[in-house]
């Protein structure tokens, strides 16, 4: 706009926005910024920790909350209701119905020495929650790493006081609960502001090269049980039956006894009765019985020979052995 050929434009004024409008716009922007930065939302599982110029002033509950704007007050949101989890010796690669795990790069975490100077591989999970937001934020730096260090140290301390057999079998539950207690104690001592909900032992194994030998022990143990059971079963097949048979033998003898005694008593009674009758007239009764007996038996005897006492030497001439008859009886 110098002295060129544009003199006719000299009077034309480019319309500028008035200062008042600019000021107004700036004011609106500032107002929006103030309003925008003076409230915040705390999620249902969170607590808000509010700092004013870096100084802790209050903790707020879930919901819409207000604060002083423009960076005077700042908010940290801490998920106090959420259960957090640290995995040791493995890593969940993809959680879901069929979670995938990986031990890649985590092998060292799981390797430890037992009290009998053997090696074991222990994988575990620590579930915890933030209960003290102030301690969690302002007492300890790097809470998560600290928790991991502590957890590894405590687990090794507890496992280091047990035999490899204990750790692998009967001691599992005890190890987990002891670690839980000791870890909580250490959390309190370190003022981490955490509560340990649970320590869960996952796979507890002998180291890979030794695993076969451990399985062999299990198999041998099974084998031992099997052999013993088989022998026991043979025993059970035989002995109860033998006991039954023994009872049978004894009962049969008891039966024999009853039979024998009863019969003997019967016979004796019969004899006594008969004798009492006989005693009344012995001579006649005796004769009668004798003759009756002969009367019974003689008709059955086919060959009857009566020898006169005065005829001597006839006996050797008799053919006493007729074919088919093998028996001879002599009488008086």
Q: By CB under 8 A, what part of segment 73-102 binds another protein?
A: none
Establish if 61 lies at the interface with another protein (CB under 8 A): no
Establish if 312 lies at the interface with another protein (CB under 8 A): no
Q: How far is the CB of 316 from another protein (least distance, A)?
A: 12
Establish if 242 lies at the interface with another protein (CB under 8 A): yes
Contact, 328 vs 320, CB < 8 A? yes
Alpha carbon distance 173, 94 (integer Å): 27
Interhelix angle 208-280/282-297, nearest 10 degrees? 120
Contact, 110 vs 103, CB < 8 A? yes
Q: Look-up: residue for tokens 């180291």?
A: 207
- What is the end-to-end Cα distance of the chain in Å, rounded? 188
Which part of the chain contacts another protein (CB under 8 A), choosing from 21-29, 34-42, 94-102, 151-159? Answer: 151-159
Establish if 280 lies at the interface with another protein (CB under 8 A): no
Establish if 267 lies at the interface with another protein (CB under 8 A): yes
Contact, 274 vs 266, CB < 8 A? no
Taking the least distance from each CB to another protein, the nearer of 9 and 320 is 320
Establish if 293 lies at the interface with another protein (CB under 8 A): yes
Reading phi first (left if > 0) and then psi (alpha if -120 to 50, else beta), residue 263 is in: alpha
Alpha carbon distance 126, 177 (integer Å): 11
Alpha carbon distance 251, 255 (integer Å): 6
Distance, CA of 137 to chain centre: 42
Which part of the chain contacts another protein (CB under 8 A), choosing from 6-14, 60-68, 89-97, 245-253? Answer: 245-253
Taking the least distance from each CB to another protein, the nearer of 6 and 270 is 270
Taking the least distance from each CB to another protein, the nearer of 11 and 55 is 55
Site for another protein in 192-211 (CB under 8 A): 206-207, 209-210
Find the binder of another protein among 93, 139, 181, 185 (CB under 8 A). 139
Alpha carbon distance 200, 92 (integer Å): 15
Establish if 66 lies at the interface with another protein (CB under 8 A): no
Least Cα distance to 138 among 54, 201, 80, 261 occurs for 54
Q: How far is the CB of 261 from another protein (least distance, A)?
A: 5
Establish if 261 lies at the interface with another protein (CB under 8 A): yes
Establish if 116 lies at the interface with another protein (CB under 8 A): yes
Q: How far is the CB of 330 from another protein (least distance, A)?
A: 6
Establish if 288 lies at the interface with another protein (CB under 8 A): no
Taking the least distance from each CB to another protein, the nearer of 4 and 313 is 313
Taking the least distance from each CB to another protein, the nearer of 64 and 242 is 242
User: Which residues 6+ apart lie within 8 Å of 117 measured at CB?
Assistant: none
Alpha carbon distance 268, 84 (integer Å): 100
Taking the least distance from each CB to another protein, the nearer of 4 and 323 is 323
Establish if 317 lies at the interface with another protein (CB under 8 A): no
Alpha carbon distance 155, 157 (integer Å): 5
Which helix (H) or strand (E) segment is 86 a member of?
Answer: strand 84-88
Establish if 40 lies at the interface with another protein (CB under 8 A): no
Which part of the chain contacts another protein (CB under 8 A), choosing from 20-28, 78-86, 196-204, 228-236? Answer: 228-236
């Amino acid at each position: 706009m110098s002295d060129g050929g544009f003199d006719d434009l000299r009077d034309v004024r480019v319309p500028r926005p008035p200062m008042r409008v600019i000021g107004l716009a700036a004011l609106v922007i500032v107002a929006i910024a103030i309003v925008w930065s003076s409230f915040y939302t705390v999620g249902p599982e969170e607590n808000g920790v509010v700092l004013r110029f870096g100084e802790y002033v209050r903790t707020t509950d879930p919901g819409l909350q207000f604060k002083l704007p423009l960076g005077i007050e700042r908010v940290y949101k801490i998920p106090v209701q959420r259960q957090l989890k640290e995995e040791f010796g493995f890593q969940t690669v993809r959680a879901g119905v069929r979670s995938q795990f990986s031990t890649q790069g985590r092998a060292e975490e799981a390797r430890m020495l037992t009290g009998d100077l053997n090696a074991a591989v222990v994988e575990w999970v620590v579930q915890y929650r933030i209960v003290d937001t102030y301690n969690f934020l302002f007492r300890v730096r790097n809470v998560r790493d600290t928790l991991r260090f502590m957890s590894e140290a405590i687990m090794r301390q507890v496992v280091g006081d047990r035999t490899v057999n204990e750790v692998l079998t009967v001691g599992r539950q005890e190890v987990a609960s002891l670690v839980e207690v000791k870890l909580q104690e250490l959390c309190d001592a370190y003022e981490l502001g955490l509560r340990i909900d649970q320590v869960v032992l996952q796979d507890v194994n002998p180291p890979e090269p030794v695993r076969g030998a451990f399985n062999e022990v299990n198999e041998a143990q099974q084998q031992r049980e099997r052999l013993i059971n088989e022998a026991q079963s043979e025993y059970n097949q035989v002995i109860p039956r033998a006991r039954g048979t023994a009872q049978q033998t004894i009962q049969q003898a008891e039966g024999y006894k009853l039979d024998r005694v009863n019969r003997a008593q019967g016979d004796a009674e019969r004899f006594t009765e008969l004798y009492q009758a006989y005693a009344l007239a012995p001579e006649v009764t005796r004769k009668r019985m004798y003759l009756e007996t002969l009367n019974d038996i003689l008709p059955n005897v086919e060959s009857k020979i009566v020898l006169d006492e005065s005829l001597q030497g006839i006996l050797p001439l008799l053919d006493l052995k007729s074919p088919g008859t093998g028996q001879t009886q002599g009488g008086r």
